[in-house]
Amino acid sequence: MSHTKQYKFLDLFAGIGGFRIALENLGCHCVFSSEWDKFCQQSYLANFGESPVGDIGKVLTEEVPDHDILTAGFPCQPFSIAGVTKHNALGTKHGFKHPTQGTLFFDIVRILKAKQPRAFLLENVKNLLNHNKGKTFEVIRKTLIQELGYYIHYQVLDAALVLPQHRKRIFIVGFREDLKFEFPTIEPSDITIQDLLEAEVEEKYTLTDHLWTYLQNYAKKHRAKGNGFGYGLVDLAGKTRTLSARYYKDGSEILIPQPGKNPRRLTPRECARLQGFPDDFKIVVSDTRAYGQFGNAVAVPMVELIGRQILQALETPISLTPSPQTDPWV
C-alpha cells in the first residue's frame, strides 16, 4: 500500500507490540511507546530495539511527540460519576470534569486533548459495550465526541474472520474531521488451527494424566449441573476458543488432540501464530509469561485491516460535514 506520507503513531498500553507490527506493515512509523509490565518490555525491546516508557500516567503530555495516529489496547476500568461528584463537593481539583479521572483511559484523553492527532484506534473486550449497564462505554463515547471533538466509529469484530480463533473485540476509530471511513469488509479466511501447528512439539506440552483426569472430571461435574464449563478440545479443521491470558494455568480452553495420548497445550509459538504474529517474532520470556503476553495481545491481521481503512480515510480529501459534530445520542 502506497501512501503520500509516512504517518507517525503512538503505541500506548503497547503490550508486546501487536499494534506496532500492524501499522509498521502499512508503512507507518512509531514515535513513542508505553508499557508498564517489565516482561512485556523485555519482549518489546527484543523485537523492536527499544524499551517502552513505563507508567503512562507519569509521562507529561509535553514529553509525548507529535503524531498522526494514537493506538491503544487500553484496560477496561469502571468510571465513577460519584467520584467526580465527591471531588466537586470537596472543592478539590480533578483534572477533566468527567468521570474518567483515576482510570487509564484518562491518560488517553489527556494525550488526545494535548496533541490532537488526526486519528486514533482503540481496542478493548467486547463487553466494554455492556460494562456497568452500558455506562462505562457511554462515558467513553461522550468524552471522545463532546469534550475532544472527535468523530467516532466503533464495531465488534471477530478475529475468526482472519485467524482460526474466535476472539470478539470492540474497535473504536476516531478522526478530527468527519472523514469517509468504513470498517473493512472481510472475506472469511479458510485458515485452520491445523495450519498453525508446529511439526515437532516437546513432550512437556502434553497434559499429565493427573491434569487430564481432573479436567475431564471437572467438565463431567458441570455438565451434570447443566453448565457449559469444561475443556475445549480443538477441531483441527476448525477454529479455537479465545486465547486468554490465563492459558498458562492449564491450557484447558484450547487443547490439541493427539492420537493415542493425552491432549496437549499450544506452544508459545503456536499462540503467537494464533494471534497473527510473524514467525520471526522473538519469544524471549518463559512459557508462562509468553502465554500471558499472547493472550493479552491484539489480533495483528485485524488491526492491520482496520489500519488500512484509517489511512485510506486520512488520504481521502472528502469531509462529509463541514460543521462541528453533533452527538445524536444526547
72 Cβ partners below 8 Å, 6+ apart?
Answer: 10, 12, 13, 19, 108, 120, 121, 122, 123
166 Cβ partners below 8 Å, 6+ apart?
Answer: 158, 159, 160, 239, 240, 241, 242
How far is 294 from 275, CA to CA, in rounded Å?
A: 7
How far is 67 from 272, CA to CA, in rounded Å?
A: 29
The C-alpha cell of 108 is what? 488517553
How far is 309 from 215, CA to CA, in rounded Å?
A: 43
DSSP state of 127: G
Find out whether 302 and 155 touch, Cβ atoms under 8 Å.
no
Angstrom distances, CA of residue 295 to CA of 18, 241, 259, 299: 12, 12, 27, 10
Angstrom distances, CA of residue 78 to CA of 56, 75, 172, 244: 19, 10, 18, 21
Which residues share a beta bridge with 119? 69, 175
For residue 28, indicate whether it is catalytic. Answer: no
Q: Which of 28, 30, 40, 76 is catalytic?
A: 76
The C-alpha cell of 140 is what? 467513553
Annotated active-site positions, please? 76
